Chain A
Amino acid sequence: MLKANVYVTLKEGVLDPQGDAVKKSLHVLEYQGVKEVRIGKFIEVCLESKDKESALRELEEMSDKLLANPVMEDYRVEIVEVE
């Protein structure tokens, strides 16, 4: 069994209304140093796979197809645990 973390983030230049709202709230809390907040998704996937490489390939395929929308999002996959 493998465990992977998939990070899905909005592409650079894509407006993030949620991030902006959180940034404003942080300013209200007087964290004036905060210049930008971008919100993304963190997806944990446990899967059976014969090795790390094929797991990575499969996860990238999953991300392209479903986990991320390539029109507006980027993703990064990391395999964190191998049992």
Chain B
Amino acid sequence: MRFGVVVFPGSNCDADCYHVIKDVLQEEVDYIWHKESQLGAYDAIILPGGFSYGDYLRTGAIARFSPIMPAVIDFANRGGLVIGICNGFQILLEAGLLPGAMLRNQSLKFICDTAYLKVKRNDTPFTNQLAAGQLMKVPIAHGEGNYYCDEATLEELRRNNQILFTYSNAAGEDSPDFNPNGSIANIAGIINKEGNVLGMMPHPERCSEEVLGGTDGVNIFVSMVKSFQEVIQRCKN
């Protein structure tokens, strides 16, 4: 499977993602400079975390108009797997590939911590190696992770089962008491209706090896590989 990691000026989790794909998963991976206007033959695209364009104006607002983005949007619209992590999630929101927007954390503080995530469903290309209801311990690091959408959009997210991860405590309670940033409905990650685009604030690439203190995050990338292999298998049959 061939992954592409898009690098914007100010991305700072690109090398982490690249490392996980290449060294932990031992799959193919390339960096894609944001000034490119075409995507090569990729099976999945990663929009990494960081502070693209210094987060000027709004997080992700300027990156969303980078030369590479029309190709990423086209790739997503054709069903390609796209995962946006942290700033990558913010870019997906600005690009309209996922609904909603990001507000400043309710506390106004940049939060650097470890969060428990509750996996809401496992029938997606990003969570097939996890169980529904399973908890994951994943680092978070953001100042603007307070996910916002209007009531009608929230209703639609719920109706279509688009909420993939919620913030919870160690016992799996995902109530407002265990919400680190004020995010509506404790949302930590959502997918699009079609299920091929995931945006999440927590950093799975930072917990994909024992040496980093946990491996919960690697399951998301392994799920993507598994899902890709299944598609290939179906095509062969």
Q: Which residues does A use to contact B, with CB under 8 Å?
A: 14-15, 17-18, 21, 66-67, 69, 71-72
Given contacts A66-B65, A71-B101, A71-B149, contact A15 B106 (CB under 8 A): yes
User: Is B122 on the interface with A (CB-CB < 8 A)?
Assistant: no
Cβ–Cβ contact A17 & B58, under 8 A: no
Cβ–Cβ contact A17 & B105, under 8 A: yes
- Name, among A14, A21, A67, A69, the residue most crowded by chain B CB atoms within 10 Å (CB to CB): A69
Interface size counted on chain B using CB atoms at 8 A = 21
Cβ–Cβ contact A21 & B103, under 8 A: no
Could you tell me the dominant secondary structure of chain B's interface residues? loop
Cβ–Cβ contact A69 & B101, under 8 A: yes
Q: How far does the Cβ of B149 sit from chain A's closest Cβ, in whole Å?
A: 7
Given contacts A66-B61, A69-B58, contact A17 B101 (CB under 8 A): no
User: Is B94 on the interface with A (CB-CB < 8 A)?
Assistant: yes
Q: How far does the Cβ of B187 sit from chain A's closest Cβ, in whole Å?
A: 14
Cβ–Cβ contact A17 & B65, under 8 A: no
User: Is B178 on the interface with A (CB-CB < 8 A)?
Assistant: no
User: Is B49 on the interface with A (CB-CB < 8 A)?
Assistant: no
Cβ–Cβ contact B101 & A15, under 8 A: no
What 0/1 pattern do residues 89 to 116 of B give for CB contact below 8 A with A? 0000110000111011111100000000
Some 18 contacts from A to B, beta carbons below 8 A apart, are A14-B148, A15-B103, A15-B148, A17-B105, A17-B107, A17-B182, A21-B108, A66-B61, A66-B62, A69-B58, A69-B61, A71-B99, A71-B100, A71-B101, A71-B148, A71-B149, A72-B103, A72-B148
